Amino acid sequence: MNMLLRLLLLMAVVLAAPASAAEVLRRVPPTLDPAKGYVLVEIRNHDAGRLQGSIVLARYDPAGEDVRGGTRSPGSALPRGDDVRIAIASRALERTRESRLYLVALEPDIWVIEGAGGTAFSLGSRTFTIAAGEVVDLGVLSPATDWFEGESAPRLTVGRVATLALLGPFARTPEQRPAMLDMRERGATDFAVPAQLRAAIIPVRLQPGARFGNYLGGLVNRIDGRRGRPDAAPPPVPTPPEQSEPPAPVSPPPADDPS
């Protein structure tokens, strides 16, 4: 009996644990929690195709220049039970074949758009601050593949399908390409802001230049892709490609080499 009581007590403690930092809401609540911030966001399909788009938001530490509790910012870790990130990929308020509208309840904090389509925007993303009781419109986000110059999605030919069927996981597959995110304000052709939120909603104020570690386990990129790179980025590869050079002796270090 004593054991059963202990078990029930333990379950009560677990259930009474603080709610996670963020939650995607299936419907607009009748009354908004004044202790939370809310984000309204429309996410279009990946590459404007059939694959549903998704993004990941994470709590950000601007002083440590990393996601809270990350390797560059261990001192900003959240208490146990609080989620540092949330994936927005299901529980849409409204949906069409091409797009979905989400309402997310967040803890008041600085949040960063950490990734989309399996890519972490570690090389440069945007943050926004959300205060308690605020409802912020993040706009319309369109995840897309950041192809190399002159590259496009490989065509699924009969030969490729046959190779995949015969060789399975041993078949040679094309290299993955990172994703990027196209962001714009909500327009007349997009989902309308739900009536309950119209009075309170404000446009988001985004801050560029957020960098952080790769915690999503996949590729990395800038949120704007290659077009968002600084001027220091290398020029595109000349076309047609240069001819192969024969192996040449390795050049010595330049004269002004500090070493």
Partner 1 sequence: MPRLFGRGAGFVAASLLVCGAAEARGYYFNKPGVSREAYMADVGECIELAGGVRPGTPYVPYSPNLIAAGINGFFTGMMRSRERRRLSNMVERTCMADKGYARYEVSNAVLDEIHDLPTLEARLDRLFGLAASAAPIGQRTRE
Question: Segment 111-130, which members bind partner 1 (CB under 8 A)?
Answer: 120, 122-124
- With binding defined as CB under 8 A, does residue 75 bind partner 1? no
- With binding defined as CB under 8 A, does residue 11 bind partner 1? no
Non-local (6+) Cβ contacts of 48 within 8 A are 98, 142, 144
CA–CA separation, 57 and 51 (whole Å): 20
Q: Which of 78, 193, 206, 220 binds partner 1 (CB under 8 A)?
A: 220
**Of 64 and 108, which CB lies nearer to partner 1 in the complex structure?**
64
- With binding defined as CB under 8 A, does residue 2 bind partner 1? no
- With binding defined as CB under 8 A, does residue 79 bind partner 1? no
Residue type, 116: A
- With binding defined as CB under 8 A, does residue 62 bind partner 1? no
Q: CB of residue 224 vs partner 1: minimum separation in angstroms?
A: 11
- How many CB atoms are closer than 10 A to CB 94? 13
Pull the structure tokens for residue 108.
């008041």
Three-state secondary structure call for residue 173: coil
- With binding defined as CB under 8 A, does residue 233 bind partner 1? yes
CA–CA separation, 196 and 186 (whole Å): 17
- With binding defined as CB under 8 A, does residue 240 bind partner 1? no
Pull the structure tokens for residue 66.
């990393």
Q: CB of residue 198 vs partner 1: minimum separation in angstroms?
A: 40
| Bridge partners for 202 per DSSP | 136
**Of 59 and 222, which CB lies nearer to partner 1 in the complex structure?**
222
Query: In 60-209, which ranges are continuous DSSP H helix?
Result: 158-167
Q: Which of 6, 72, 184, 205 binds partner 1 (CB under 8 A)?
A: 72
- With binding defined as CB under 8 A, does residue 74 bind partner 1? no
Non-local (6+) Cβ contacts of 154 within 8 A are 160, 174
Q: CB of residue 155 vs partner 1: minimum separation in angstroms?
A: 20
- With binding defined as CB under 8 A, does residue 180 bind partner 1? no
**Of 13 and 170, which CB lies nearer to partner 1 in the complex structure?**
170
- How many CB atoms are closer than 10 A to CB 24? 18
Phi, psi of 160 (to 5 degrees): -65, -40
Where along the sequence are the contacts to partner 1 (CB under 8 A)?
Answer: 65, 71-72, 120, 122-124, 148-149, 169-170, 175-176, 178, 213-222, 229-230, 232-238, 241-254, 257-259
